[in-house]
Structure 1
Amino acid sequence: MALESDGDGGRGKRQRVDEQEAQRKELAAAVAGQEAAVPVVRISALPNDLRHRILTYLPLKDAIRTAVLAKGWRDLWKSRWAHPTSCRDIHLLPDDNPRKMLGPLVSGPRRRLDRFSLIVENEKLRPQHLKLFLAYAAECLVEDLHVDLRHCKSTVKFNFHFPLSSPRLLHLSLRHINICSLYYKGAQPFYALEVIHLQSVTIAVAFRKFMALCPRLHTLDLRRCDLDGFLYGAKPFTPPAGVNLRSITVAECRGEARLVDVAVPSLRSFRYNGNCGVSSFFLPKDAALADLYICSGDPIPMFFHWTVFANYIDRRLPDDLSRLTVLTICSNTLKAASSLLNDGATAQLTCMRNLQSLRELQLLMFGMDTNKLADIYLFLKASYCPNLERFFVQLPAISDVPVEGLLEEVEVEQPEDGLGNLRTVKVTNFNWRRIELQLVSFLLRKASSLRKLLLVSPNTTPMNVAGVPEADLLLLKESLANGHIVLSESDNAATQPFHSEVFVKH
């Protein structure tokens, strides 16, 4: 009835409904337009100085993440402060005055630092100076801290106090400095700290306590340190310490790295270089390593027969290396492994008999003769690494093997298979000796998928070597002609092993 009473036949009501619908659509479009414009107006349209100011209040990792906000923010974090305000590198030379170097830091403003580096070659430095330098770094909330006291006065004791460090400390590198008492009571955890590098540092009980304050530590690198029992047993790695530890390096240290009873479930990388007569290592038997570096470059002690040394190595490795993808061993370790792998009566080193996941092998040879070539054959034959793709051999730069020794025949049979997936080989310090040519010809014959064999040699002109079979010489010449062998005087940076840092070079 009401509808019938409308004089316009309902047209006015329909018009109002249409108008309301149009208003709703207009409002929705406006809101959508505003939402779409917000990232442009409120983020990308900000002036650069204001955006840089925002970044100065963010930790480095969060500053990097702002790159996803918009295109204008993509690389802005790289210049959030003009150099050198984002990075302080202080090098105290012998004639420098530490007080004058400290003046601008002590009186100047405190701004967040990505990195603070202090290298001292100055006997005028005193502990109070060092304390002020480190206090400045802590107040600037530094994330990467490097301290190297190279040539300070030997009679002065310099200490590093961890509790006085930046709470945002992410990467710590210390050289030639003592680790002081922690004032453990009330010490706050370092939730950001992930990497620690220590060189020529005495490590004692204080550092054990510090480890408990680093739940996110994933890399521990110790070089020329006096371990003083620090890595002996499970004490340093009482949870949460060690839970996230993925990589441990122990190079030329005094004391044992005994990790047998340690809970390090995330450990994937272990690198050791040392004299087994002075120091040693023990790995957890259940460690699931992905890369392993073992080098005992010093002469094996006279009281160590090779079988004894082999058993010594065997007891220190995990039970299962089947998930190992990268392995670097020296010729001493290679000899020990080969002697066990070839001993059928007392066969041990079962972990080395199954390297089915190994993709890269590097051998550091401290000498090269027929016995060492036999060790290489034995290892490749017994370890079973069918997925090996990259093979690196570092030969000694100068050979002490007499010429007559080079003419001996290798009595061990060459492996018949296992190198079918090998694609890249690099031999450094190649000097065209007969034993070296024999190794190269073996690899050319057995590696059916070989793409490149790089020989780094001081002499890039092929040499005629007495005693080399004619078939081997012909194979070498053909490989040089078709490009399978590449001769170079310099090491190719594009073809480097995973363990490119070699602690000991012979």
Structure 2
Amino acid sequence: MEATNIKRLKISKKKKAKKLEEKHDYLTELPEPLLNHILSYLTMKDVIRTSVLAKRWRYIWLYVPCIKFPPMKVSRQIEVAFINRTLLLHKGPNIQKLNITFKYNNDGACQVDSWMHFALTRNVNELYLDFLVKGARDPSRHCYRLPHFILSCRSLTVLALKRCAIKFPINFKLSSLKKLSLDLVDISSQAVNDLISSSPILEYLSLTDCQKDDSLNLSIMNVGMKTLKINGSSYYSSSYLEVYAPHTVSLELVRSLYRKNLVINRMQSLESASFYCDRVPCVRYDKVKGYSTHKILEAVHHVKDLRLCSCYAEALSTSENQSVDFLSFDVTCLGIKTELTKWELPGIAYIIRHSPNIETLIISIDKIRDKGLSNDLEVGEYWKLQEPNFIDQLWNLKTVKVCYFMENLNQLQESFESTAKELLELLQNCMDFLKFLLKNSKVLERMIITNYKKTKFGKWDGLKLRLMSRLTQELLAFPRASRDAQIYLQDCLRSPPGIP
């Protein structure tokens, strides 16, 4: 009897211990730096809500170093009051990150200035500001003018501004700034250069539609400069862009086809370069612009990683037709965003043939044409005619990646009821190119064909399975120059690595 009671007592103690363990709040016992790191992923509204979780959480929001205010679905007055109250009550001595996205009106300048004073007095490290101004494509109208004192904040390491204005001349010194991003910011070309020269350890610079009316002459002498990104999709044709950056390692340029001139000078430190256009390929507008594009590629022929869109392939096609055969590339990784139309094929063949060190080739299918444009006998026969020119080429090509392979077929199938055979015909241009690569790449190890995985189900999924089966059979039947070449067909939820 006594043994039974002892056994029951032990069981009871175990149950109590288990209940206590279940009630134990391990999250609350985390060290404060780790808690702050977790809270940095939340908006300030959600951070404040954690004050009801436990006694320790009651005042922790007053000291969080990362403050984030996204747009709120409330009236503007309530939104301003919430930001004012939060910053007024905050007691942390230093702010690591302040992120404000705010619906700005002309009468709100004083309020925003007070937030900038808060950032300055708390030695902010990272400042992100986005002012949702009406008519945001013209930042010079009704936009917030950044106060001069914020550009003297020596603690700033990251500054990202969107839809505001910076007026000069002013005196400033951003001695700690490493990353600068300006998007739809009203700022002059000279002011941009002044900002760069006053940021001696700047490593990253991104400019998006900042000089809509003016030309931009960039001179970047910062030794530590690593990345330069310029997106100028809305420039006028009379403007020009000139870049002088001898120490920059990575360049990404999205330029309007209407920009009159683009000059790249002394970028001998470049290791990777990306060039894209957001309109119809330039050689369809003007052959002179095609020649200009060719000169751009000549300036970056030494890079190891090169990414291009279809208009550059067309520009090289124009050069090919004119028998310009002096440009060669040192790339080991080449990415081309293309539709594989007859206008682009000569340029694609040109750059591959003139890249003897290429090891990785990435083809991103921009769009699949309808039957009237995709089934062109000239396109189908082109790669067969190119084989004699590639007898002593492609000796280093080991990896081929084809991205968005069937991405647009879903829309075509919804518009026109199609069979697997008919859809396969739409992919014939790409299949001819893959057949050419398999037949002429002597050391090819892998060909990876990726496609976005669709989340919806229905008739398309069954058709897609039949199409994949047909594609697999046809690809496996292609002759291969390399015995080690393997073919992989993949669906993916995320963008494959290295997509242009």
Deviation at 1:173, TM superposition (A): 0.7
Deviation at 1:399, TM superposition (A): 1.4
SS in structure 2 of the partner of residue 426 of structure 1: strand
Does the CA-based 8 Å contact 1:203-1:228 persist in structure 2?
Answer: no
Aligned residue number for residue 41 of structure 1: none
Aligned residue number for residue 258 of structure 1: 241
d(CA) in 2 for partners of 1:395, 1:340: 23
Aligned residue number for residue 276 of structure 2: 295
Write out aligned runs for 1:301-312 (5 A): 304-306=285-287, 308-312=288-292
Which amino acid is 2:340 matched to?
A: M
Deviation at 1:294, TM superposition (A): 1.2
Which amino acid is 1:452 matched to?
A: R
SS in structure 1 of the partner of residue 112 of structure 2: helix
Write out aligned runs for 1:14-413 (5 A): 85-93=64-72, 94-95=74-75, 96-121=78-103, 126-151=108-133, 156-165=142-151, 166-184=153-171, 187=172, 189-204=173-188, 205-226=190-211, 228-229=213-214, 231-232=216-217, 234=219, 237=220, 242-251=222-231, 252-254=233-235, 256=239, 258-259=241-242, 262=244, 264-278=245-259, 280-285=261-266, 287-300=268-281, 304-306=285-287, 308-317=288-297, 319=299, 321-322=301-302, 324-341=303-320, 343-344=322-323, 346-347=324-325, 350=327, 353=328, 355-356=329-330, 358-365=331-338, 367-381=339-353, 383-386=354-357, 388-400=358-370, 402=372, 405-408=375-378, 409-411=380-382, 412-413=385-386
Which amino acid is 1:291 matched to?
A: S
Does the CA-based 8 Å contact 1:202-1:228 persist in structure 2?
Answer: no
Does the CA-based 8 Å contact 1:120-1:152 persist in structure 2?
Answer: no
Deviation at 1:131, TM superposition (A): 0.8
d(CA) in 2 for partners of 1:125, 1:419: 63
Does the CA-based 8 Å contact 1:176-1:200 persist in structure 2?
Answer: yes
Does the CA-based 8 Å contact 1:441-1:472 persist in structure 2?
Answer: no
Does the CA-based 8 Å contact 2:246-2:266 persist in structure 1?
Answer: no
Deviation at 1:315, TM superposition (A): 3.3
Instruction: Could you tell me which runs of 5 or more consecutive residues in structure 2 were left unpaired when the two chains were aligned.
Output: 1-28, 37-59, 407-423, 453-463
Deviation at 1:492, TM superposition (A): 5.7
Aligned residue number for residue 448 of structure 1: 442
1:291/1:84 CA distance change after superposition, 3 Å: farther
Does the CA-based 8 Å contact 1:163-1:183 persist in structure 2?
Answer: no
Number of equivalences? 397
Does the CA-based 8 Å contact 1:460-1:488 persist in structure 2?
Answer: no
d(CA) in 1 for partners of 2:213, 2:226: 23
Deviation at 1:99, TM superposition (A): 2.9
Aligned residue number for residue 432 of structure 2: 438
Aligned residue number for residue 409 of structure 2: none
Deviation at 1:488, TM superposition (A): 2.3
d(CA) in 1 for partners of 2:167, 2:175: 20
Deviation at 1:378, TM superposition (A): 2.6
Does the CA-based 8 Å contact 1:370-1:410 persist in structure 2?
Answer: no
Does the CA-based 8 Å contact 1:389-1:423 persist in structure 2?
Answer: yes
Bigger mean CA offset, 168-177 vs 283-292: 283-292
- Provide, for residues 181-231 of structure 1, a one-character-per-residue CA deviation record: whole Å limited to 9, x for no partner: 3532xx3x2111111111111221444433331111122111122255463
What TM-score do the two structures reach when normalised by structure 1? Answer: 0.68
Does the CA-based 8 Å contact 1:456-1:491 persist in structure 2?
Answer: no
Aligned residue number for residue 16 of structure 1: none
> What is the percentage of aligned positions where both structures have the same residue?
15
Does the CA-based 8 Å contact 1:127-1:158 persist in structure 2?
Answer: yes
Deviation at 1:341, TM superposition (A): 4.9
Deviation at 1:147, TM superposition (A): 0.4
SS in structure 2 of the partner of residue 315 of structure 1: helix
1:136/1:473 CA distance change after superposition, 3 Å: closer
If each structure's helix is expressed as a fraction of its own residues, which one has the higher value?
Answer: 2
d(CA) in 2 for partners of 1:293, 1:404: 27
Deviation at 1:88, TM superposition (A): 0.5
Instruction: Could you tell me which runs of 5 or more consecutive residues in structure 1 were left unpaired when the two chains were aligned.
Output: 1-48, 57-80
- Provide, for residues 273-330 of structure 1, a one-character-per-residue CA deviation record: whole Å limited to 9, x for no partner: 1222136531104533211111123124688444x233212334554623x1100011
Aligned residue number for residue 404 of structure 2: 429
Deviation at 1:138, TM superposition (A): 1.6
Does the CA-based 8 Å contact 1:329-1:364 persist in structure 2?
Answer: yes
1:182/1:390 CA distance change after superposition, 3 Å: same
d(CA) in 1 for partners of 2:363, 2:352: 13
What TM-score do the two structures reach when normalised by structure 2? Answer: 0.69
Rg: which structure is higher? 1
